[in-house]
């Protein structure tokens, strides 16, 4: 799998010369993960035939989906070339929908998210400023959530505003910061505030990593599209990356991690030994869950609302929730690394595998590859909206060694907010006459 991934990765880079392409992102991160796994920095639990099959099926299905998309696109373009007047469907370039950010609405949602998190996490911030470590805070919580979320209003705020805005704020702000002539600072500041508060929830590093990935992906997109990025922004970009690394190291130390470099190594490879143990334990689910495990990001908020009005979810939903709770609650050993064990990490392909075996996983990953390439092709066709959506989608690909992000309601609801709520559609003529955003595109 490693050899094939490296070969196709190099071919894709040679042909497309674009680091932000879905094939490069998906095969690149997994080639890196598998290479680290082969290094065996410590004694890791040996892989089973099942997990090897899951990884091969995942990458093979995704690549097949990308190939299918481009074959379909080539066939369609050939048909249009032969019969230019016979198809009313167009590529979307020059569409009326410009996809400009609803700036005031975006900042209102960010302010609500920040205020809710600040109020609920004030005791954590005070403890850390008073000298406590995140290890102390998590011990004081006795393994429970460091922030208690209860009551209809608070649950709704976190489900539909706080967590989704945390998921989508970095892609949106990255696009705004790197494409504007002016007004960059307010976006960067709100991005830092949301990430800062998300980190203080329990000392998690994910929000910082997502922010760094969002800016890197945005920069790669702009370079590919030959958009101009000023030198001072590039310098600030490098300094921000250095500060982010310092913050990640400081958080790791505060969480009691002694060998930080080894912890990063374990962070990348843990999905293989941990995922195979979760798959072995999935026998307690009778039968398959047929999409409910992979798409919990959709089903969880949906059935939460339906339950409020008295409609109960089906048994498949309960089975998927049981599996999700199991991987969250059970810390397992991945080898000769940590006495406390690891939790949660599973390869993205393992989710549809639990849903319906290898066949379901392959079909799911084919669709994933098709949609990924479609969003990549549309990244410049509707202003900053399509770019921001692709950046959010792309960081899900890069973090596919952690989980399948469609199983996260914060990610899915954040994606829906970006697609249908946070961006407006303005006529192209108005934009041409009122170029007040000061963009470089």
Cβ atoms 55, 30 nearer than 8 A: yes
**pLDDT at position 92, please?**
42
**pLDDT at position 337, please?**
86
Residue 329 CB: number of other CB atoms within 10 A? Answer: 10
Q: What percent of the chain has pLDDT over 90?
A: 60
Cβ atoms 157, 109 nearer than 8 A: no
**pLDDT at position 143, please?**
53
Q: How many CA atoms lie within 13 A of 367 on its CB side?
A: 8
Checking if the pLDDT of 330 tops 80, the result is yes
**pLDDT at position 347, please?**
97
User: Average pLDDT in the 68-91 region?
Assistant: 74
Question: Tens digit of pLDDT for each residue in 154-201?
Answer: 999 999 999 999 999 999 999 999 888 788 889 999 999 999 999 887
User: Average pLDDT in the 102-130 region?
Assistant: 91
**pLDDT at position 200, please?**
82
Cβ atoms 84, 376 nearer than 8 A: no
In this prediction, residue 127 has a pLDDT band, given cuts at 50, 70 and 90, of confident
In this prediction, residue 434 has a pLDDT band, given cuts at 50, 70 and 90, of very low
Q: Which residue has the higher pLDDT, 331 or 412?
A: 412
Checking if the pLDDT of 89 tops 60, the result is no
Cβ atoms 41, 262 nearer than 8 A: yes
Task: Measure the CA–CA gap between 300 and 321, rounded to whole angstroms.
Answer: 9
Report pTM. Answer: 0.90
Question: Tens digit of pLDDT for each residue in 287-315?
Answer: 789 999 999 999 999 999 999 888 999 99
User: Average pLDDT in the 250-260 region?
Assistant: 71
The length of the chain in residues reads: 441
**pLDDT at position 255, please?**
67
Question: Tens digit of pLDDT for each residue in 136-161?
Answer: 777 666 555 567 778 889 999 999 99
C-beta pairs of 430-433 under 8 Å, 24+ apart in sequence: 431/98, 431/100, 431/383
Cβ atoms 315, 323 nearer than 8 A: no
Distances (CA, A) of 221 to 66, 77, 165, 214: 19, 24, 22, 11
Cβ atoms 172, 425 nearer than 8 A: no
**pLDDT at position 392, please?**
98
**Mean residue pLDDT across the chain:** 86
Question: Tens digit of pLDDT for each residue in 204-224?
Answer: 788 999 999 999 999 888 877
Q: Which residue has the higher pLDDT, 245 or 30?
A: 30
User: Average pLDDT in the 129-134 region?
Assistant: 76
Distances (CA, A) of 227 to 150, 247, 385, 441: 46, 30, 16, 6
């Amino acid at each position: 799998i490693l050899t094939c991934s490296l070969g196709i990765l190099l071919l894709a880079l040679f042909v497309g010369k674009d680091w932000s392409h879905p094939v490069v992102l998906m095969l690149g991160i997994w080639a890196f993960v598998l290479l680290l796994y082969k290094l065996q920095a410590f004694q890791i639990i040996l892989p089973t035939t099942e997990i090897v099959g899951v990884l091969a099926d995942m990458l093979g299905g995704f690549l097949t989906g990308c190939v299918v998309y481009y074959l379909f696109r080539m066939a369609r373009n050939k048909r249009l070339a032969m019969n230019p007047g016979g198809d009313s469907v167009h590529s979307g370039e020059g569409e009326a929908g410009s996809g400009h950010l609803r700036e005031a609405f975006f900042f209102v949602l960010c302010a609500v998210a920040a205020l809710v998190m600040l109020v609920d996490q004030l005791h954590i911030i005070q403890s850390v400023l008073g000298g406590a470590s995140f290890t102390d805070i998590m011990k004081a919580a006795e393994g429970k959530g460091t922030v208690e979320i209860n009551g209809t209003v608070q649950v709704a705020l976190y489900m539909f505003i706080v967590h989704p805005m945390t998921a989508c704020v970095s892609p949106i702000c990255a696009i705004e910061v790197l494409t504007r002539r002016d007004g960059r600072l307010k976006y960067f500041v709100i991005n830092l505030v949301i990430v800062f508060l998300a980190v203080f929830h329990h000392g998690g590093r994910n929000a910082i990593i997502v922010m760094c990935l969002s800016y890197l992906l945005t920069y790669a997109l702009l370079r590919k599209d030959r958009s101009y990025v000023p030198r001072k922004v590039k310098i600030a970009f490098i300094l921000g990356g250095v500060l982010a690394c310092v913050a990640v190291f400081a958080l790791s130390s505060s969480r009691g991690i002694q060998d930080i470099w080894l912890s990063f190594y374990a962070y990348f490879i843990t999905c293989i030994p941990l995922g195979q143990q979760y798959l072995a334990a999935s026998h307690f689910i009778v039968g398959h869950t047929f999409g409910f495990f992979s798409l919990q990001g959709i089903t969880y908020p949906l059935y939460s609302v339906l339950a409020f009005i008295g409609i109960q979810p089906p048994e498949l939903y309960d089975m998927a929730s049981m599996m999700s709770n199991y991987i969250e609650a059970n810390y397992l050993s991945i080898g000769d690394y940590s006495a406390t064990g690891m939790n949660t990490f599973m390869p993205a392909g393992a989710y549809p595998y639990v849903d319906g075996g290898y066949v379901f996983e392959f079909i799911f990953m084919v669709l994933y590859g098709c949609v990924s390439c479609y969003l990549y092709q549309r990244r410049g066709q509707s202003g900053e909206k399509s770019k921001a959506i692709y950046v959010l989608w792309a960081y899900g690909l890069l973090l596919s060694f952690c989980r399948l992000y469609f199983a996260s309601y914060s990610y899915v609801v954040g994606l829906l907010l970006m697609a249908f709520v946070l961006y407006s559609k303005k006529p192209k003529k108005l934009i041409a006459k009122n170029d007040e955003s000061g963009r470089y595109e």
